[in-house]
């Protein structure tokens, strides 16, 4: 068949590549921003976030881009420095959940029948409780603070991860190469490490990247309730809550941390979608990326063999 | 009937596990319950020991659990450490306020989410579809507690149309319900859009069109009906999150409900209240999802068959 490219199709292809370029730019900027606020917030904000000043409750100006709060602190600096506890808590929390979820999922999915029955019933019970309730109970047990939020997000997200991993492990166990490994006398621990885990990697990356948005929401909700950083340290959730009491006088106090949270969740969701389309071959309508990046890798391997 | 029994059998172990978890809370939370109750009352060690005996804290764990379960089956959730009132009574008297907020938020989510999802799904890649997708992307990203403050700022502080603090009227319910329901309407929009696009490609829609069914009939009778099943399931799975979201929203707007009660009980280590809330919320979640499973089973015969084979 002779391939004919209609003008319309060519236009669509061009638009697609523009969109791809744009997503790459957004991803690069997001990664740079995240690294900057985590490693060197001083590069972005020159004022100390906990320094009090004489300008009390002044609106956004050239000297204070996001205005000042009731103690004269610079809201822009607080917004920049407030990113660290939020990002640390949500990213580390999701990683904790992924590690625990993969562990429980693999044990539940490949262990003996009674092990599976016990672990999955426990997971079912935890799944019946809302994420935030589990997190709150955990913080009531271990006390407040950023490490507690990491633990709370980790434990609260574990059951969901474990459930997904367990069902994939069960599907994988029926696949021929795993069966073959078993026939050749591979121990179940070796099968899990050598054959199951590498095949779960993609799925775990997708789970992590799509979970971070929810984790940011959970972590900021907890710090909004005053369970996060020790004051006067900056934190989006607690600053947003503190600004609420001055809402009628100073709209900028809550608005900027709130916008920061919203943009972070937008970006992490975008990153999640990006990772998913790059990694997931089943994503039909965006198979382009898969064909262009992932398939060639396999082809090269085949040619070398 | 067989299907109903199987769903019931699957729900029972979860309910059992929730009671075990709630029971264990009293031992997981730091601090001796007897000392918490007698805190600040200059009590002697003998009084504390006596109260421990009275609370049954010296019995073996299985024995304590059976006592707890027995009380639970009689509808007794224990007494609050602070007020000495029945926990069941205190929780249930606050439940209507929380449930009203939860279901109003659900109504907001459905009223906004379903039409947008339909409009977007019928004409994918149209400008309306792009607008809907933008809305759902943003809707998921704005935290409800921030949206609540933004809405208060505009409608209470600037325009003075709606009250910012709960005063028992319907108009004071609008901002909390919209700020909580907004995010879930975005989830519904995305879900229904995807399902409608998928259903429009299916054979039965082509068959219905070939038989001369009108577009509106195809949409409402066929595509929407089949899309509603995952939507109902999703609502069920999100129910717990909406409920806890309602709890946080209550704290923001000063509404007296289970949420604000639970929040103060967690900080004051009022363990029976936390236990009662875990049983109520967890149990409510299981029962709601059981009902939804049964509804879906009744609407869609494939579900009944699928679980029978599996």
With an 8 Å Cβ cutoff, is A224 touching chain B?
Answer: yes
Q: Sign of the C-alpha dihedral, residues B80, B285, B184, B175?
A: negative
Report the candidate in B301, B230, B224, B259 with the shortest Cα–Cα distance to residue B101.
B259
Q: Which two tokens stand for residue A101?
A: 């979820």
Q: Which residue of B has its CA nearest to A243?
A: B149
With an 8 Å Cβ cutoff, is A16 touching chain B?
Answer: no
Q: How far apart are CA B143 and CA A216, in angstroms?
A: 10
Q: Say what the ipTM of the complex is.
A: 0.81
What tens digit of pLDDT does each residue of A58-85 get? 778 777 778 787 777 888 888 888 888 8
Say if CB B146 and CB B179 are below 8 A apart. Answer: no
Say if CB A148 and CB B36 are below 8 A apart. Answer: no
* Separation in Å, CA A115 to CA A106, A107, A170, A195, B59: 11, 8, 14, 20, 29
Q: How far apart are CA B155 and CA B143, in angstroms?
A: 18
The confidence score (pLDDT) of residue A8 equals: 52
Q: Which residue of A has its CA nearest to B269?
A: A140
Q: Which of B14, B152, B251 lies closest to A247 in CB terms?
A: B152
Which of helix, strand or coil describes residue A124? helix
With an 8 Å Cβ cutoff, is B262 touching chain A?
Answer: yes
CB contact (8 A) between residue A266 and residue B141: yes
Q: How far apart are CA A137 and CA A56, in angstroms?
A: 38
B25 vs A contacts (CB less than 8 Å): 137
With an 8 Å Cβ cutoff, is A130 touching chain B?
Answer: yes
CB contact (8 A) between residue A131 and residue B286: no
| A220 Cα to chain B: minimum distance (Å) | 9
B261 vs A contacts (CB less than 8 Å): none
With an 8 Å Cβ cutoff, is A59 touching chain B?
Answer: no
* Separation in Å, CA B136 to CA A284, B133, B146, B167: 21, 5, 16, 31
With an 8 Å Cβ cutoff, is B12 touching chain A?
Answer: no
CB contact (8 A) between residue A130 and residue B21: no
Q: Which of A121, A124, A265 lies closest to B141 in CB terms?
A: A265
**B111 pLDDT exceeds 90?**
yes
Give this prediction's pTM: 0.81
With an 8 Å Cβ cutoff, is B165 touching chain A?
Answer: no
With an 8 Å Cβ cutoff, is B273 touching chain A?
Answer: no
Q: Which of B13, B244, B286 lies closest to A132 in CB terms?
A: B244
The confidence score (pLDDT) of residue A7 equals: 53
Say if CB B117 and CB B190 are below 8 A apart. Answer: yes
Report the candidate in A154, A93, A167 with the shortest Cα–Cα distance to residue A126.
A154
pLDDT band at A6 (very low <50, low <70, confident <90, very high): low
Report the candidate in A175, A180, A129, A171 with the shortest Cα–Cα distance to residue A152.
A129
With an 8 Å Cβ cutoff, is A11 touching chain B?
Answer: no
Which of helix, strand or coil describes residue B232? helix
What tens digit of pLDDT does each residue of A239-280 get? 888 888 887 788 888 888 999 999 989 888 888 878 777 775
With an 8 Å Cβ cutoff, is B29 touching chain A?
Answer: yes
Report the candidate in B258, B260, B262, B256 with the shortest Cα–Cα distance to residue B274.
B262
- Give the residue carrying structure tokens 């006592």: B67
Report the candidate in B190, B10, B166 with the shortest Cα–Cα distance to residue B117.
B190
Say if CB B253 and CB B166 are below 8 A apart. Answer: yes
What tens digit of pLDDT does each residue of A95-145 get? 999 999 999 988 888 878 888 888 888 888 888 888 888 888 888 888 888
Q: How far apart are CA B173 and CA B165, in angstroms?
A: 9
Which of helix, strand or coil describes residue A152? helix
Which residues neighbour B156 within 8 Å (Cβ) at sequence distance 6 or greater? Answer: B162, B163, B164, B175
The confidence score (pLDDT) of residue A30 equals: 79
pLDDT band at A16 (very low <50, low <70, confident <90, very high): low
Q: Sign of the C-alpha dihedral, residues A140, A143, A144, A148?
A: negative
Find the length of chain B: 310
The confidence score (pLDDT) of residue A151 equals: 93
What tens digit of pLDDT does each residue of A230-246 get? 778 888 888 888 888 88
What tens digit of pLDDT does each residue of B172-226 get? 888 899 999 998 999 889 888 888 888 888 888 888 888 887 877 778 777 877 7
CB contact (8 A) between residue A240 and residue B29: no
Which candidate in A8, A134, A136, A215 is best for mutational testing of the B interface (most B CBs within 10 A)? Answer: A136
CB contact (8 A) between residue A128 and residue B240: yes
CB contact (8 A) between residue A262 and residue B240: no
Cis before B34? omega within 30 = no
The mean of the pLDDT values for chain B is: 82
Domain coordinates in residue numbering, chain B: 15-73, 87-267
Report the candidate in A57, A14, A136, A91 with the shortest Cα–Cα distance to residue A268.
A91
A255 vs B contacts (CB less than 8 Å): 150, 153
Which of helix, strand or coil describes residue A68? strand
Say if CB A247 and CB B153 are below 8 A apart. Answer: yes
- Give the residue carrying structure tokens 């907001």: B108
CB contact (8 A) between residue B28 and residue A125: no
The confidence score (pLDDT) of residue B306 equals: 61
CB contact (8 A) between residue B141 and residue A213: yes
How many Cβ pairs within 8 Å bridge chains A and B? Answer: 114
Q: How far apart are CA B278 and CA A134, in angstroms?
A: 9
With an 8 Å Cβ cutoff, is B101 touching chain A?
Answer: no
The mean of the pLDDT values for chain A is: 78
Q: Which residue of B has its CA nearest to A218?
A: B143
Q: Residue B96 class from Cβ within 10 Å (0-12 exposed, 13-18 middle, 19+ buried)?
A: exposed
With an 8 Å Cβ cutoff, is B145 touching chain A?
Answer: yes
Say if CB B13 and CB A126 are below 8 A apart. Answer: no
| B281 Cα to chain A: minimum distance (Å) | 7
**DSSP designation for B79:** B
Q: Which of A128, A133, A262 lies closest to B146 in CB terms?
A: A262
* Separation in Å, CA A17 to CA A8, A11, A247: 14, 10, 44
Homologous superfamily of domain range B87-267: MetI-like (1.10.3720.10)
With an 8 Å Cβ cutoff, is A61 touching chain B?
Answer: no
What tens digit of pLDDT does each residue of B52-90 get? 777 777 777 788 888 888 888 887 777 787 777 888 888
Q: How far apart are CA A105 and CA A111, in angstroms?
A: 10
Q: How far apart are CA B209 and CA B212, in angstroms?
A: 5
Say if CB A149 and CB A89 are below 8 A apart. Answer: yes
Report the candidate in B258, B248, B265 with the shortest Cα–Cα distance to residue B83.
B265
Q: How far apart are CA B273 and CA A51, in angstroms?
A: 41
The arithmetic mean of pLDDT across residues B88-94, rounded, is 86
Cis before A162? omega within 30 = no
Q: Which of B141, B252, B277 lies closest to A269 in CB terms?
A: B141
Q: Which residue of A has its CA nearest to B289?
A: A128
The arithmetic mean of pLDDT across residues B236-246, rounded, is 84
Phi, psi for residue A74 in degrees, rounded to 5: -80, 115
With an 8 Å Cβ cutoff, is A22 touching chain B?
Answer: no
With an 8 Å Cβ cutoff, is B240 touching chain A?
Answer: yes
| B146 Cα to chain A: minimum distance (Å) | 6
The more confident residue out of B215 and A296 is B215
Phi, psi for residue A102 in degrees, rounded to 5: -65, -45
The confidence score (pLDDT) of residue B174 equals: 87
């Amino acid at each position: 068949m002779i391939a004919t490219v209609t003008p319309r199709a060519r236009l669509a292809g061009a638009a697609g590549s523009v969109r791809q370029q744009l997503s790459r730019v957004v991803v690069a900027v997001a990664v740079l921003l995240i690294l900057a606020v985590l490693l060197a917030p001083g590069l972005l904000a020159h004022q100390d976030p906990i320094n009090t000043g004489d300008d009390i409750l002044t609106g956004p100006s050239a000297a204070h881009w996001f205005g000042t709060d009731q103690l004269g602190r610079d809201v822009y600096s607080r917004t920049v420095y407030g990113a660290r506890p939020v990002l640390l808590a949500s990213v580390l929390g999701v990683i904790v959940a992924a590690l625990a979820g993969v562990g429980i999922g693999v044990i539940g999915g490949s262990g003996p029948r009674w092990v599976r029955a016990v672990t999955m019933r426990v997971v079912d019970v935890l799944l019946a409780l809302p994420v935030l309730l589990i997190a709150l109970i955990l913080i009531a047990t271990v006390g407040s603070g950023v490490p507690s939020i990491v633990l709370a997000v980790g434990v609260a997200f574990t059951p969901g991860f474990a459930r997904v991993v367990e069902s994939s492990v069960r599907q994988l166990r029926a696949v021929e190469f795993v069966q073959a490994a078993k026939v050749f006398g591979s121990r179940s621990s070796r099968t899990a490490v050598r054959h199951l885990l590498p095949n779960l990697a993609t799925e775990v990356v997708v789970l992590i990247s799509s979970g971070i948005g929810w984790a940011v929401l959970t972590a900021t909700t907890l710090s909004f309730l005053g369970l996060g950083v020790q004051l006067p340290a900056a934190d989006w959730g607690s600053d947003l809550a503190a600004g609420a009491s001055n809402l009628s006088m100073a709209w900028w106090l809550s608005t900027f941390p709130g916008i920061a949270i919203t943009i972070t969740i937008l970006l992490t969701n975008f990153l999640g979608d990006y990772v998913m389309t790059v990694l997931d071959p089943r994503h039909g309508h965006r198979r382009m990326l898969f064909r262009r990046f992932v398939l060639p890798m396999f082809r090269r391997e085949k040619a070398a063999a | 009937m067989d299907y109903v029994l199987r769903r019931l059998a699957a729900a029972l172990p979860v309910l059992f596990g929730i009671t075990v978890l709630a029971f264990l809370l009293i031992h997981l939370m730091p601090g001796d319950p007897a000392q918490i109750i007698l805190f600040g009352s200059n009590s002697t060690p003998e009084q504390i020991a006596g109260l421990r005996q009275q609370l049954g804290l010296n019995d073996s764990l299985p024995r304590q659990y059976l006592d707890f379960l027995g009380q639970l089956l009689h509808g007794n959730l224990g007494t609050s450490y602070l007020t000495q009132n029945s926990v069941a009574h205190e929780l249930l008297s606050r439940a209507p306020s929380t449930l009203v907020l939860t279901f109003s938020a659900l109504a907001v989510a459905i009223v906004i989410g379903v039409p947008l999802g339909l409009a977007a799904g019928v004409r994918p890649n149209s400008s309306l579809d792009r607008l809907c997708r933008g809305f759902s992307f943003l809707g998921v990203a704005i935290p409800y507690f921030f949206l609540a403050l933004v809405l208060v700022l505009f409608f209470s502080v600037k325009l003075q149309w709606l009250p910012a603090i709960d005063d028992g009227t319907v108009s004071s319910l609008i901002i909390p319900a919209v700020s909580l329901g907004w995010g879930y309407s975005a989830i519904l929009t995305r879900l229904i859009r995807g399902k409608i696009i998928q259903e429009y490609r299916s054979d039965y829609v082509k068959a219905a069109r070939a038989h001369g069914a009108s577009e509106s009939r195809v949409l409402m009778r066929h595509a929407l009906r089949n899309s509603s099943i995952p939507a109902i399931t999703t609502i069920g799975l999100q129910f717990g999150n909406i409920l806890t979201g309602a709890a946080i929203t209550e704290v923001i707007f000063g509404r007296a409900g289970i949420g604000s009660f639970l929040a103060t009980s967690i900080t004051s280590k009022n363990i029976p209240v936390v236990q009662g809330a875990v049983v109520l919320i967890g149990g409510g979640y299981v029962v709601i999802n059981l009902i939804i499973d049964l509804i879906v089973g009744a609407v869609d015969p494939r579900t009944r068959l699928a679980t029978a084979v599996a």
